Structure formats: structure tokens, C-alpha cells
Amino acid sequence: MSILHNKLVSQAEVLRAKRTSLLKEHGETVLGSVTIEQVLGGMRGVPALVCDTSSVSADEGLRIRNTPILDLTNITPEETFWLLVTGERASAEELAELRAAFAKHYAVPQYVVDTLKAMPKDSHPMAMLSVGLLALERESEFRAAYDKGAGKDALWQSMVNDSVRLIASIPGIAAAIYRIRFNKGDVIAPLADDNDLSNNFAHMLGVSNDPAWKELVRLYLVLHSDHEGGNVSAMTSYVVSSALSDPFYSVSAAMCGLAGPLHGLANQECLRFIMDVREQFGGVPTDEQLTEYTWNRLNNGQVIPGYGHAVLRVTDPRFTAFHDFGVDNGLTDENVQIVHKIFRLVPGILKEHGKAKNPWPNVDAASGSLLYAYGMTEFDFYTVMFGVSRAIGLCSQMVVNRMMASPIVRPKSLTLEELSAKA
């Protein structure tokens, strides 16, 4: 048993005891009412999920285990996983063991690479990511443990093993997709002498040798890792894994949700928007030109990608972190200049337009321009970068839910007729 397992044994007992006592002593406590608007409006604001790994408030944004994300911009993806899943910062010894466990899985099995190569050349990279994870499902220790009759209170242990394998393998799967899908040459093997996850990911992508690129990959993997439990990808993996489907099935399904333009795909849409602006004006537009362009888009019923959020009502701190990375690394290309200009002008326009509840930028407004600046110019790949990072949070959430022995998810649906009868 690993140090991580040992640490989680007592936590699992505490979590299950808390859940049992809440159910027994307060099971009937009413948390709120559900309105027809919420039923018809994507269940917005209905308190119906438990998520201990992170929280998102309207006025501050993401906290991972109660630490603001802007205080975590220097940590690694490995430290992020440890923090998400245990609630504690990893010691040097714990981190070394986790890194060694990850490093065993950086090389992607050949059958997964062959599966990806067999897909049509115009497949979307997100479809390839979902398929790659499904191909890897045959390695699931969780499924094997269930088949051998593991009790429900013990299943979290094999879920930890699957999570380690999945989080360690997904960078290699993503890098293989990048190289296969965009004709970048052979798939690159992981580093023999470095077991750092983001260094390996940056290396296997083969985009750039600039140390700042490696630093960007690290930051990217930390910032996108988790965003509480109610977003589309987190909720998808939660629902799928509640049926005791293993993490490979669950994260593969979550990636299909992340591929939607109102969720993860927004970062590709954002850069497309920035490039459209650049192309339309032959460079960085004047303030007047950008204002008119934005109004035309809004009047045409189109959204401004990278702006607005279902929960946030302030600038997303993850946008701030990316924005500052660009400034600190002296990035001044036209895309970055346009990102900064949009940030200066668009919130005011969205306020005047009066529809979006949040006129401020979300994480996707800046990330693509940074990837582009270091040579990753294939927009269709950007959501895959997001997915590699988000897998860390999804797995952490699933482990915690399994430690609690959460039951299968089964809310009640109503027909429109039934809903109308209650009106």
C-alpha cells in the first residue's frame, strides 16, 4: 500500500462516518426549494452535490481545498493532485513517491497509440482523447477489484490506483494525439531521466524547448485542474462513476462534455475570435473598431467567447494568472495585445448590453493566446490541454466520493405537463 493509500485510509473512515451521521441525524433537513425556473434553467444554483476538493464563489472564484488559486500558481500538477485528494500539502517524501508512481505510466501503451492512429484524419482531438481513455480502460484495477468482489467501502483504493494511472497516462495520450492529428512526426517517448509530469508532457508534445513553454504547461495544468462539482465535466464524471463505472469510463465521458463550446471548447473559440479580430483589422484594432465589432457581434445574437460565467461575478482569478504570465514573460504579439484590449473594453460593453450576468473574463479568454505564442497554433487541440488538466480534479473528486461510498445518482424528472400542472 502506498503512502497516499495509507493517508486516505483514516480519511475514508472519517468521511463515511460524517456522511452516515448527517444522513441519520439531519437527513430530513431542508436545504432550499427548487423553482420551475431552476428546473427549466439547467438546475442553476440547486444545492444538490457534495464536492470537498474545491469551491467556486461568485465574488472570488476558485479555491482548492480552501486555498485561493492565485496562492497556488507555483505548485506542480502532482502537488495539485495530492492537495485535491488529501486536503493537505504534500511533503517531499510523499511527492517523491507519487512522482515515481506516475512515472511508471508516462509511456502510453502501443495499442492506445494504434487506436488513435486508426481514427479518421479529420477526427476532432477531443473525440480522440475520449477514445484514447476508453481504449486504456482495459487496464482498470477498479473494474478488476469489483469483479473479484471488493466491498463498497474498499473500492476507493483501486480507484486511487486507476486515478494515478489515468492522470499519468493522459499527457502521453494527448501528446500522441497532437503529433498524429497534426502530422508532427513520430510520437515522442517520455524523458528517461525526469519524472516530473508537466516536464514530460511539454517534452512529449514537442512544441518548443523554451523553458517558459514548460512553465506555461505547468501553470496550465494547475489552473484548469478543478472547478468544484457542478460544471458539466465534473458532474458527468460524478454521475457516470456513481454507477460504479471505473475512472476511465467516467473521465472519457466527462471529456465529451468538456468538448462543448459552452464549456471547455470555449478556449478554442476564444482564440478564433481573437484571430478573427486580427484578420478583420489587419492587426490590433483601434478602440473604436473593437467596440463596433463587439456590438455587431452582440446584435447578431453571438456571445463574446471567454466572457461571462455561470457562477463567477468577477474576473476569473485564473484569467488573472494567465494574463500576468504573459506580462511577466514579455509576450507582446498581436494576439496578446488584442486579449488585453478586449479585457479593457468588452466588460463595459457587456454591462451596457445588459444581458450577461457576469461581464468579466473567464479562464478561456487568455489561455489560447499564450499557447499560440509558444508555437501551439492548432486551436482544435486547446481543449485537449484543458482535459489533461481537468482529469486531475475529476479523478480527485471521484476518489473522495468513493471514499464516502456515495450512492448512484438518480434525480427525479418531470414531464412538461407535470411541470405545467404545478404552475
Kindly list the residues in this chain that would bind ligand HAX in the complex (CB under 6 A).
Answer: 231, 262-264, 266, 298, 303-310, 355-358, 362, 364
Alpha-carbon radius of gyration of the chain: 22
Using an 8 Å Cβ cutoff, are 285 and 293 in contact? Answer: yes
Shortest Å, Cβ 11 to ligand HAX: 29
Which residue is nearest to ligand HAX, using beta carbons? 308
Using an 8 Å Cβ cutoff, are 254 and 318 in contact? Answer: no
CB neighbours of residue 98 within 10 Å: 23
> Which C-beta is closer to ligand HAX: that of 278 or that of 297?
297
Euclidean distance between CA atoms 67 and 11, whole angstroms: 19
> Which C-beta is closer to ligand HAX: that of 188 or that of 356?
356
Cell of 310: 455561470
3-state DSSP call for residue 265?
coil
Shortest Å, Cβ 64 to ligand HAX: 16
What residues are annotated to the active site? 263, 309, 364
Shortest Å, Cβ 336 to ligand HAX: 18
Using an 8 Å Cβ cutoff, are 231 and 240 in contact? Answer: no
Cell of 135: 481504449
Using an 8 Å Cβ cutoff, are 227 and 62 in contact? Answer: yes
* Cβ-based neighbours of 107, under 8 Å, separated by 6 or more: 172, 189, 190
- Which of these, 365, 349, 350, lies nearest to 305 by C-alpha position? 365
Shortest Å, Cβ 126 to ligand HAX: 12
Shortest Å, Cβ 76 to ligand HAX: 22
Cell of 270: 476564444
Shortest Å, Cβ 233 to ligand HAX: 8
> Which C-beta is closer to ligand HAX: that of 13 or that of 292?
292
178-182 contacts: CB < 8 A, separation 24 or more? Answer: 178/125, 178/205, 178/206, 178/207, 178/378, 178/381, 178/384, 179/205, 179/206, 180/113, 180/116, 180/117, 180/128, 181/121, 181/123, 181/125, 181/128, 181/378, 181/380, 181/381, 182/378, 182/381
> Which C-beta is closer to ligand HAX: that of 189 or that of 262?
262
Using an 8 Å Cβ cutoff, are 224 and 366 in contact? Answer: no
Shortest Å, Cβ 27 to ligand HAX: 31
> Which C-beta is closer to ligand HAX: that of 195 or that of 250?
250
For 55, list phi and psi in degrees, rounded to 5: -140, 155
> Which C-beta is closer to ligand HAX: that of 140 or that of 397?
397
